[in-house]
Amino acid sequence: MSPAEQNQPVPFLDLPAVHAPLRDEFEAAFATVLGHGGFINGPEVRRFEAEFAEYCQAREAIGVGNGTDALELIMSGLGIGPGDEVILPGNTFIATAEAVLFAGARPRFVDVLPDTLLIDPEAAEAAVNENTAAVIGVHLFGQMADTDRLLEVTRRHGLAFVEDAAQAHGARFSGQRAGSVGVAAGFSFYPGKNLGALGDAGAVVTQDTALADKVRRMADHGRAANSRFHHDLVGRNSRMDSVQGAALSLKLRGLDQANAGRVRAWEQYVNELPAQVQPVARHPKAEAVYHLGVVQVDNRDKVCEVLSAAGIGWGLHYPTPCHLDSAYTAYTESLPVVERAAERILSLPMGPTITQQQVSRVCEVLREATSATG
Ligand SMILES: Cc1ncc(COP(=O)(O)O)c(C=O)c1O
């Protein structure tokens, strides 16, 4: 590390650096949209949907307003609603639970595996009852949940298997891409995601063309096929903007390379982290894309203080498990693995442009922090 690089702050995610090389292409694409004036669901959205479906090894992709809407539209599109229960891990972003509740169903939170912190298929199976309609496998931190075992469980009980792939664009499990395994998958293109838009956006990805048609129409006010004025479904407004479609197409071209940058950074973390800082494990069948660089550490608050003092960005995903959050007291459970992890997890700086020097700097500060905090 050169003296100039020593003690430099390290951002949690450097989005300006990610977007700088694409600036001219973004501006040209925006000018095209301004020129044709089809700002919503325009040709850029159609093109991106086709490209993203192919990327995910799926038949259909439908651009929607955001990832939460994508999951909710999947629930409603599958006819899941009042009286139904949906199994999901307690360790996820709150949006997964919101989608279940806004569809009118009841979330049933289950525990996660201690090594990957992803949904435990046995816990999911143990939670199945006569009201269960679906299991949501959340592919958290860039790693897919164990879809082999989750599919066994959902097939055995005749349940829908839905993927929350908001953090896993390009990840694989047993060679299959996120988005290609379940009955449908919800993706978020929130700007900080592996594939991020320049604002809010999301997609539903599915192999099921009938479900795709229903979701597409529900996201556009339930409009009947080939009709401007007739609505044969109760729908809503959750459509993708054309500028987001254009930006996403441009960024999709570089997604594999961007993911490779994250994998390199993670491998370096695993080699250089001090022993007191334990990286979240990868399942041998998983090809992870490290949306987040998550580790577990004791004395987390102290470690965070030292990181902040050194100008190192950090995050917590997630410090309050969904089943313990104050709006969710009606759905609380005892989930010891989630609860223990919530006190110890820490997300380190991660992104496609993070440098070797930056990862080394983070590890150096973590060494100081952990030796100081014991
Ligand atoms: C696991 C997970 N599910 C769902 C969502 C919801 O996506 P959005 O923020 O685009 O609504 C997110 C994104 O923040 C997420 O990380």
> What is the distance between the alpha carbons of residues 277 and 274, in angstroms, rounded to a whole number?
6
Q: Using alpha carbons, list the distances in angstroms from residue 289 to 171, 276, 282.
A: 5, 24, 11
Give the chain's mean pLDDT.
97
Assess whether the C-beta atom of 187 lies below 6 angstroms from ligand 1. no
For the chain, report the end-to-end CA distance as a whole number of angstroms. Answer: 26
For the CA of 99, the closest atom of ligand 1 is 4
Q: Looking at residue 181, what DSSP letter applies?
A: S
Q: What is the pLDDT of residue 215?
A: 98
Assess whether the C-beta atom of 244 lies below 6 angstroms from ligand 1. no
pLDDT at residue 4 is higher than 60: no
Domains and CATH numbers, the chain: 19-252 (3.40.640.10), 255-373 (3.90.1150.10)
Assess whether the C-beta atom of 292 lies below 6 angstroms from ligand 1. no
| 71 Cα: distance to centroid of ligand 1 (angstroms) | 9
Three-state SS string over 244-288 comes to HHHHHHHHHCCHHHHHHHHHHHHHHHHHHCCCCCEECCCCCCEEC
Which stretches of 280-327 are assigned E, i.e. beta strand?
286-287, 293-296
Mutate to test the pocket of ligand 1, among 188, 289, 294 (most ligand atoms within 8 A of CB): 188
| 272 Cα: distance to centroid of ligand 1 (angstroms) | 30
Q: Looking at residue 151, what DSSP letter applies?
A: H
Assess whether the C-beta atom of 190 lies below 6 angstroms from ligand 1. yes
Q: What is the pLDDT of residue 153?
A: 98
Contact 303, 353 (CB under 8 A): no
Runs of H (alpha helix) within 110-165: 121-126, 147-157
Assess whether the C-beta atom of 347 lies below 6 angstroms from ligand 1. no
For the CA of 138, the closest atom of ligand 1 is 1
pTM value surpassing 0.85 = yes
Cis preceding-peptide flag for 190 (omega within 30 of 0): no
Please report how many Cα atoms fall inside a 13 Å half-sphere around the Cα of residue 334, on the Cβ side. 0
Q: In what order do the strands lie in the sheet with 60-64?
A: 60-64, 202-206, 184-188, 160-164, 132-138, 85-89, 106-110
For the CA of 68, the closest atom of ligand 1 is 11
Per-residue pLDDT tens over the stretch 113-148 = 999 999 999 999 999 999 999 999 999 999 999 999
Q: What is the pLDDT of residue 120?
A: 98
Mutate to test the pocket of ligand 1, among 64, 66, 68 (most ligand atoms within 8 A of CB): 68
Assess whether the C-beta atom of 238 lies below 6 angstroms from ligand 1. no
Assess whether the C-beta atom of 188 lies below 6 angstroms from ligand 1. yes
For the CA of 190, the closest atom of ligand 1 is 10
Specify the pairing of strand 202-206 against strand 184-188. Answer: antiparallel
Collapsing DSSP states into helix, strand and coil, what is residue 110? Answer: strand
Q: What is the pLDDT of residue 251?
A: 98
Per-residue pLDDT tens over the stretch 86-102 = 999 999 999 999 999 99
Assess whether the C-beta atom of 44 lies below 6 angstroms from ligand 1. no
Q: What is the pLDDT of residue 228?
A: 87
Which pLDDT band, with edges at 50, 70 and 90, does 1 fall under?
Answer: low
| 190 Cα: distance to centroid of ligand 1 (angstroms) | 7
Q: Which amino acid appears at position 215 of this protein?
A: V
> Ligand 1: which residue has its CA nearest to atom 4?
95
pLDDT at residue 374 is higher than 80: no
